[in-house]
Every structure is written in structure tokens, then in C-alpha cells.
Structure 1
Amino acid sequence: MSKQHHVIIGASAAGLAAVEAIRKVDKDCPITVVSKEPLPLYSRVGLTHFIAREVGYDGMRMRDDDYFDRMKVRGLMGVAALSVDPTARRIALSNGENVAYDNLLVTSGSHAVMPPIPGTNLQSIYTCITNVDAKRIDEAIAGANEVAVIGAGLIGIQVVDALIRRGCKTTVIEQMPHVMPAMADAVSAAMMEDELRKAGVTVRCGVRATELLGKDSHITGVKVEGGEVFPCQLLVMAAGVAPNVDFLNGTGVKMNRGLAVDACQRTSLDGIYAAGDVAETVDMFSGERVVNAIWPEALNQGRIAGLNMAGVATPYEGSMAMNVTSVLQTPVASIGAWNPQSGGRYQIREVRDDRRQTCRKLVFDGEQLVGAMLVGTFEDAGILHNMIRTRKTFTLKPDHLAPATVRWGTVLRAIHKAGRV
């Protein structure tokens, strides 16, 4: 009986997690990885660290160039998937090949969205999704007196932080009422905005960019609602992302905000799986279908998909939001259901210190911790994440968890005490 051929489109977190999960089950089955990006295999988490000059170009790598050989994988790097025939189970590639598959995993990631405003065709406008983007931004900084960033979500705010470290005069423009809208509430975001302004950053929230201005084909400024213009010679666009799924057009695969998958990461088409930024999964708390485009969930979903492709039935327990970053060395973390709608079944315990610019906000469903947002200090973020993800209380009540940092020693003593009762 011949071995099944597994094809993976995409060579980032989810794709490589799937390779490693398959190889734990089957050491010899044929695996082909197709990636439109050439080597090296790199981590997108490292892009802004490279721009900040905290790591070199090789510091973005997450695997060495011999990785595919060691894993017995055929790597087709710099090759794009053009189309998929789900009936014949074949993929047309940009190098002219038609590759047959038994199982196909789509981990093709996402691309930056360019808002539909005049001027996006000007030069010196960059996104920050790939290592090529990061290198271009790094090289362009020297020729820019002023830099603008459109979008203050996770990517945008990390770009701003990197630009500050490079000494750039920076403006950040966010159409939502405050920065980091998906990972911080208004009060905590105000703390971050205050830190940014102290560092010389111009922060404009609650306004849309309406036009990109230019001269001699190069960008010179960003015009926003109301007519205000912010000069820049370099613009980073971080206004959102969309999944890379054009090659699946015509297949009939079910897609909403992403490829709809079941608990085994299977799409609506037989033999086709999806993981990472392209996959629409179920939020483990709300039950709503979501695209949770974050690194930890990409790793988890890729592992689950790989195990199921290899014949080891393994359900995905659901997606959980988790964002961690820092703004001018002030750490910010949001985990799980950190921002529930008011009037529901959740209780919020919150401790803030405006003088120290710190916040500890925990969300409980009864006595079960379901969400956390931490600003300024999060030594126990790992403990809280464990409690939220595993949905265990470790016998610790809200009164134990809410006021201050929890240590593992406290958790272990509580477990030991509970065991003696």
C-alpha cells in the first residue's frame, strides 16, 4: 500500500508545525511544501525586531536551510500555487508543475489590505508582512525625515515602536477611537498613547486617511478627514490583512472571513485542510466563528491539522485570542475573553495605577478565569494563560487572582491544599 502524499501550501508557523506533527506519526510518507516566498524560513514575529535593529537579517530565521532535508520534505520555495482541482486532487503551480495530493493543507497566510484611497500607487509605501517588506523599510528609513504609519493594531504599533528605536519622527493614524483596539480598552490604550506622545510620536485616532499626497511619484504626506496633512517620506500601511486564498477560486470551498474548518481543521472539500491566518475556527468561549490570525494559534492549528492528515484523530479545542507586545518597553498582553460585552454573565476585577501606568484586568465566568488584560507588568501572564486555555481554576478564587501577580508557588500550594481536603 502506497503512502499518502501530503502537500502543504505555506511555510510559516502553521505549515511547519504540520510538517513536524506528521513526521511524529510517519517518518517516511511523502511531504511537499509549496511556498511563494524563497528561503530562508523565517518568523514574521521577528520583522519589527529587525527594523528596530534588535536582530540581524538572520535573526528572523526560525529554521535553517537544511530543515527540509532533515525532515525528508520536498520544498518548492519561490513557487506559488495557481489553482486547485479538488476532484482530480491536483494543484497547478507557477513553475509549470501539476502536483497530485492525497491531503492538502492550506497555510498560505495573509496579505496586507490597501485601503481604497487615492495615492496608494506612490513610491515609498510599504506593508510589513514579509521579510522583504522589513528589509525595504529598513533601507528606506535613512532617506526619510518623517515616517507615517496607518493603522495602530498589533502590527502597526510594533512598527511604530521599531521606528521610535530608530530615531524616526513618527506619526500614527488609527481610524478607531484608540490605539490597539483589538487588545486594549480605552483607558489602557490612553496609557500607551501617553507614552507614545512623550516619545515624540504624533498620535491621531478616530480619523480616516482620505488621500496620500505625493511629488515626483514619491509620497510626501497623508491627508486625513478634516483636511489635516501629516508630512512623510515613508509610509507603512498596517490597515488590516486578508487571507491568501485566490488559488482556491472556483473550487466551491466554503469560505466566510476565512476557510471554514471543523474541529479537525478540515474544510468543506474532502482531503483539504486549513490552518493559521486563512482558517476560520470557533472561539472557545463565545462559540462564534473567528479568524484568529496570531502566531500561537497558527502553531496549534497546524499541529492539529498535521496529526489528522496523518491519521491521528485529534480535535482542536477552539481558538483563543492572545496578543502580547510592548510599547516603549511597557508590556501589554490580552488573553482570552478579556473584553466581554457589558450586561452579560461575566464579572470583571480590575486594578489600575495611573501613576505607574499599570493595569490588571481579569474577567471571570463565575469563579473560572476566562480573560485577562495586563499593562505594565505581566510576570504571571503564562500562569493566567494556562488557567484560561485549560479552563482550570487550580482552586484559586477571583479574590486570589485579581489583586496582584500570582506565582506558581501559590498555585502549587493551592493544589496541594485542595488535594488534602
Structure 2
Amino acid sequence: MSGTVVIAGGGQAGLQTAASLRQNGFSGRIVLAGDEPGLPYQRPPLSKVYLTGQAGTDGIRLRGEDFFTDNAVELLRGERIVAIDRERRTVETASGTGIEYDDLVLALGSRNRELPVPGADLDSVAGLRTVADADLLREALGSVRRVVVVGGGFIGLEFAAAATDAGLSVTVVEALPRVMSRVVTERTSEFFTGVHRSLGVRVVLGAGVRRIVGENGAATGVELDDGSVVPADLVVVGIGVRPNVELAEEAGLAVDDGIVVDGSLRTSDPNIFAIGDCARFPSPHAGRPVRLESVQNAVDQARHVAAGLTGDAGAYDAVPWFWTDQGKVKLQIAGLTDGHDRTVVRGDQSEGKFSVFCYRGDELLGAESIGRATEHMAVRRILTAGAPLSPEQAADVDFDLKGYSKQVV
């Protein structure tokens, strides 16, 4: 287990690949090249405890300096890989350094989608993706009064909750008829809309943005497609992300809204892998190729590639799961629920503690759990085991879901 593994991308997926290689006994050279100047860090806290000042830089780091020294991992900070020579098996960094590899892992992540309207480049229009973004927004929260969040997805709503908690006036503008509509059921969308409105957030649904209004180079409001203007001292854009695929595309690798990989997470080049946000992989849980943006997927795929490079890992088949913390409310999702045609609710929505089980016919696809962490874990075990759970069992509060999930594993 020797040779050289180069990892392009210093986020959660890239770092986990390096750590798992060493844990699995890999004795060769590991080079980890990341775009950002500091140590690798967690992204989820940026829109939560880091933004509100409850955690600092040390609190979100994935590993300290000693990890890289102790494990002989060469960390190239702020050193982006800009080219791949597949024939020679070399990569070139932005500074012009060439590095040979035996295997290359692309953990390139994703970047925020830009709002394609006039005024989007004004000062006080920002996104939230990096620690540098979060630093700017944290400073801004202390000097503004009115915030407009464009986009009612996880990041937008997490930021809205943090800004509201800071005492600011917050408006969320979502182009679709409900918040988080691409990832959760209608019932869960409605519940979270109610949560935010109860906190004082104004939630505007089914409204597109025509332009950002500004004076003296700074944003002063958001004009909606009906001509109305929502005043704003700060506009935060959270309308999704794009996978970083350009490096792979320029190297001639297959790309289709993500870097295309097979079941072992190999690209069209057998010596190059892709993992995390940038990878489109065949999922047995979706029945089709998918690209997932989650910490779980990044970490599990990193471990899988490391296992494959140091042995035989088979096909990647981890059950997807996700979470979001919005204020004091946590949503946990197990499985991929696209294409469900039936839902079953377990628990009491009025108490903010319930789960929505999603089915296609009688097949359980996944569940959304709010304040029901035990049920979330049970569903993950059931999906991992491929065990049946009928809609009637899910709806029956007397059915021992936890006990059943432990029996089937």
C-alpha cells in the first residue's frame, strides 16, 4: 500500500480521504491541496454557531496542525490544482508546481449559484459558503437592521434564523411556492414556514427577484417580479450551488451536472476518483445517478475510496442522510424521498415533534424527522438493512420502531 495519492480539495471529503488512508495502513505519499489558506474546517456551523459567534475558528476546524505532521500528510494551503495530465499522471498547481500521482481523488466541492439579476454585484449583497464569507456576514450583522434572504433552502433559512436571533428584521424571498420544496414534503415545508413566521420572519413565497436596488454602490432593497421593493441593508443569496467540474472537464473526464463516476466512485479514468458535492454516482437508494450535497455523503464516499485504494471496497451504497438546524428546531432526513406518492405522519405536529414517512407504493423511501432523533436513527437502520416497514407500521404509535430497527440490522 504505497505510491502517491494526490487529493484535490481541502474540505471535509478531501481531509477524510487522507485520514482514512492512514487509518487503513496506507504508507505512501499523500498530498492534500486546498483552495483556502487555513486548515480544513466544517462548513455546516458557518450558518449557525460560527455566524452567531458561539464558535470561533478553532471550534470549526476538522483537524489541528499536528494531524498533518503526525500522519505525514502534505497540506498545500491556498494551492489550487489547475490542470491534470492524465497520460503522465501529474497535476499542476496554481503556482506552477507539478506533482506526480498514482491515484488522484477529486474532492472539488461546489460553489454558490449567482443571482442573475441587475444589482447582484452591489456591496452588501453576499453569499455564505466559506469562512471568509461568514466573517464578513458576522461583522455585517452588527451594523445592519434589515436583511433580505433570497432563497428558502437550508442555508437561507439557517441564516434567517440566526439574523432574527440577532434582533434584525428579516424577509425571506422564495421563488417556488414553498420553502425547501426540492428536499422536503409539503407538510414539513409548511411547518418550517410557520416556525420562521412565529420568530418574526416575513416569508414571501412564489416571488421572483427582478433586481437589487442600490445607492452609492450599496444595496438598499430587493425588487420583486411584481414591482414591489423590500428594503434591505444586507442581501444574502442562497439559491443553491454548482459543482466544481471544470478541472475534470478540461482533463477530458465525463461530466454531467457533476463528475460522473461508477459504483466504486471511479471516473472515466481508472486512476482518478471523484467524491462529495462534485460527484454524480449511481445510487441504489435513488435507482439512478445522483449528486448529493451533504457532510454524510462526503465523509462516507471518502472512506469508501480510501478503502478501495487499500483493499476491496465493492460498490458505494451508504444510506444518505441530512440535517438542518434552524433556530432551536432540528430537521433530520434519512433516505432519498424523490418520487414518493404517499406520506404517513407519526407524532404530533402541534408539539413540533413528528416524522413524515415517505413511500412509493408500500416501499419506504425515507423519512423527515423533527424533534424525533430516535425515529431518524431507526429509519436509517431500516433503510441500511433493506428491511420492509409498512405504512401501517409507521403510522402505529404502539409499534416499537426502535426495537424493530435493531432487530433487522
Tell whether the structures are fold-level matches, with TM greater than 0.5: yes
Q: Distance in 1 between matches of 2:290 and 2:408?
A: 34
Residue in 2 aligned with 1:86?
86
Distance 1:412 1:97, change over 3 A: closer
Deviation string 1:237-261 (CA, Å, 9 cap, x unpaired) is 1111011232334311000010000
Residue type matched to 2:350 in 1? R
Query: Retained in 2: the 8 A contact 1:183–1:334?
Result: no
Distance 1:321 1:228, change over 3 A: farther
Q: Distance in 1 between matches of 2:82 and 2:106?
A: 13
Query: Gaps spanning 5+ residues in structure 1: where?
Result: 417-421
Deviation string 1:9-42 (CA, Å, 9 cap, x unpaired) is 1122211221122113334200100001122221
Residue in 1 aligned with 2:291?
291
Deviation string 1:270-326 (CA, Å, 9 cap, x unpaired) is 31110000100123223111111111011011111122233x121233364422123
Residue in 2 aligned with 1:401?
394
Distance 1:409 1:29, change over 3 A: same
Q: Give 1:172-251 correspondences, 5 Å limit.
A: 172-251=172-251
Residue type matched to 1:124 in 2? S
Q: Distance in 2 between matches of 1:412 and 1:359?
A: 18
Residue in 1 aligned with 2:17?
18
Q: Distance in 2 between matches of 1:109 and 1:390?
A: 29
Match of 1:374 among 369, 378, 386: 369
SS where residue 220 of structure 1 aligns? strand
Residue in 2 aligned with 1:53?
53
Q: Structure 1 residue 32 and structure 2 residue 27: aligned?
A: no
Q: Distance in 2 between matches of 1:220 and 1:412?
A: 53
Query: Retained in 1: the 8 A contact 2:280–2:290?
Result: yes
Deviation string 1:361-419 (CA, Å, 9 cap, x unpaired) is 223567664311223433321121121133235xx755443333976863388679xxx
Residue type matched to 1:16 in 2? L
Residue type matched to 2:229 in 1? V
Q: Give 1:9-408 correspondences, 5 Å limit.
A: 9-48=8-47, 49-310=49-310, 312-318=311-317, 320-342=319-341, 348-351=343-346, 353-364=348-359, 369-393=364-388, 398-404=391-397
Q: Distance in 2 between matches of 1:136 and 1:413?
A: 46
Residue type matched to 2:134 in 1? A
Query: Retained in 2: the 8 A contact 1:154–1:325?
Result: yes
Query: Retained in 2: the 8 A contact 1:84–1:251?
Result: yes
Query: Retained in 2: the 8 A contact 1:80–1:94?
Result: yes
Residue type matched to 1:333 in 2? Q
Distance 1:408 1:349, change over 3 A: closer
Query: Gaps spanning 5+ residues in structure 2: where?
Result: none
Q: Distance in 2 between matches of 1:150 and 1:409?
A: 39
Deviation at 1:59, TM superposition (A): 1.4
Q: Distance in 2 between matches of 1:415 and 1:320?
A: 15
Q: Distance in 1 between matches of 2:344 and 2:125?
A: 43
Distance 1:337 1:109, change over 3 A: closer
Distance 1:414 1:242, change over 3 A: closer
Distance 1:262 1:356, change over 3 A: same
Deviation string 1:212-254 (CA, Å, 9 cap, x unpaired) is 1111111111111101211111121111101123233431100
Residue type matched to 1:71 in 2? N
Distance 1:176 1:366, change over 3 A: closer
Distance 1:205 1:92, change over 3 A: same
SS where residue 99 of structure 2 aligns? strand
Q: Distance in 2 between matches of 1:373 and 1:211?
A: 35
Q: Distance in 1 between matches of 2:336 and 2:248?
A: 32
SS where residue 380 of structure 1 aligns? helix
Deviation at 1:334, TM superposition (A): 2.3
Residue in 2 aligned with 1:419?
none
Identity of aligned residues (%): 25
Deviation at 1:360, TM superposition (A): 2.3
Distance 1:415 1:80, change over 3 A: closer
Q: Distance in 2 between matches of 1:303 and 1:337?
A: 21
Deviation at 1:136, TM superposition (A): 0.9
Query: Retained in 1: the 8 A contact 2:15–2:40?
Result: no
Q: Structure 1 residue 410 and structure 2 residue 406: aligned?
A: no
SS where residue 65 of structure 2 aligns? coil
Distance 1:378 1:137, change over 3 A: same
Query: Retained in 2: the 8 A contact 1:28–1:72?
Result: no
Deviation at 1:87, TM superposition (A): 1.3
Query: Retained in 2: the 8 A contact 1:360–1:402?
Result: no
Distance 1:236 1:248, change over 3 A: same
Query: Retained in 2: the 8 A contact 1:380–1:407?
Result: no
Q: Distance in 2 between matches of 1:389 and 1:415?
A: 9
Query: Retained in 1: the 8 A contact 2:244–2:258?
Result: no
Residue type matched to 1:303 in 2? R
Query: Retained in 2: the 8 A contact 1:146–1:168?
Result: yes
